[in-house]
Amino acid sequence: EIVLTQSPGTLSLSPGERATLSCRASQSVGNNYLAWYQQKPAQAPRLLIYGASSRATGIPDRFSGSGSGTDFTLTISRLEPEDSAVYSCQQYGSSPVLTFGGGTKVEIK
Amino acid sequence: QLQLQESGPGLEKPSETLSLTCIVSGGSISSNSYYWGWIRQPPGKGLEWIGSIYYSGSIYYNPSLKSRVTISVDTSKNQFSLNLNSVTAADTAVYYCARETKYCSGGNCYLSWFDPWGQGTLVTVSS
């Protein structure tokens, strides 16, 4: 099973700043099959990124994904107040066994 | 617009069987482009994939839950279901259903990302 470790646990930044979230895999994620989700309190997760770097429909271009192998990054280029949420990564490179990371909480000051 | 809605009891007793149904509206569960998945999230913790099913009946389970989980599909009702037996307090979680893209590449097809998700339903295991 591929274990995904996300860091930092919490990120506290001001509006307009850049957020960089890390997702590290215990072994290489095949074909860079990695997705990112945003989850606001009391809401279901929302897909942001799939295939490590492809934005889902309707996702603003301030969200971008990058990385390969075992190291992946979600970048929010200019934080807005509504970006306050927990962000989780998920790998599907070892399909049919899927795993999620533990999440990074982004707080907007 | 596709919508998913989980339904089922919010409280289960230890050792009993948790049963949830996901009703799909705005699209057909018999699409050959998607799997249908269950994911859970214990309070204050991360997401855990439970399993996924294709309309024709192909099923994939999380190895850590496989011995206790059954997922089934009812195409006539456009819904799919989750049964988790011998529950304990550790199974207390928000349970989500979601559509999962059937991603094919190089002649092989894979489980992949989840989009959209149902709103989730909290199931508490307590006597």
Say if CB A34 and CB A67 are below 8 A apart: yes
Could you give the dihedral angle defined by the CA atoms of residues B5, A87, B66 and B107, in that order, rounded to the nearest 10 degrees? 90
Ranges of chain A with pLDDT below 50: none
Residues in A touching B49 (Cβ below 8 Å) = 90, 98-100
Three-class SS state of B17: coil
Which residue from B36, B12, B45, B18 is spatially nearest to B112, judged by alpha carbons? B36
Which residue from B119, B114, B118, B102 is spatially nearest to B32, judged by alpha carbons? B102
- Give the whole-angstrom CA distance, residue B29 versus residue B78: 5
Min Cα separation A104/chain B (Å)? 10
> In this complex, which of A1, A92, A103 lies closest to B113 when CB atoms are compared?
A92
Residues in A touching B39 (Cβ below 8 Å) = 100
3-class DSSP string for chain A: CCCEEEECCEEEECCCCCEEEEEEECCCCHHHCEEEEEECCCCCCEEEEECCCEECCCCCCCEEEEEECCEEEEEECCCCHHHCEEEEEEECCCCCCCEECCCEEEEEC
Ranges of chain B with pLDDT below 50: none
Note whether A56 contacts B115, CB cutoff 8 Å.
yes
Which residue from B95, B100, B124, B71 is spatially nearest to B6, judged by alpha carbons? B95
Note whether B105 contacts A31, CB cutoff 8 Å.
yes
Burial class, B30, CB count within 10 angstroms (exposed 0-12 / middle 13-18 / buried 19+): middle
Note whether A45 contacts B47, CB cutoff 8 Å.
yes
Say if CB A55 and CB A105 are below 8 A apart: no
Note whether B113 contacts A35, CB cutoff 8 Å.
yes
For the record, the structure tokens of A22 come out as 């890390």
- Judged by a CB distance cut-off of 8 A, whether residue A100 touches chain B is yes
Phi/psi at A105 (5° precision)? -90, 125
- Give the whole-angstrom CA distance, residue A8 versus residue A23: 9
Residues in A touching B120 (Cβ below 8 Å) = 44
> In this complex, which of B110, B116, B118 lies closest to A95 when CB atoms are compared?
B110
Q: What is the pLDDT of residue B76?
A: 97
Which B residues 84-103 touch A at CB under 8 Å? 96, 98, 101, 103
User: Of B53, B110, B119, which to mutate for an interface test with A (greatest number of A Cβ within 10 Å)?
Assistant: B110
Q: What is the pLDDT of residue B114?
A: 98
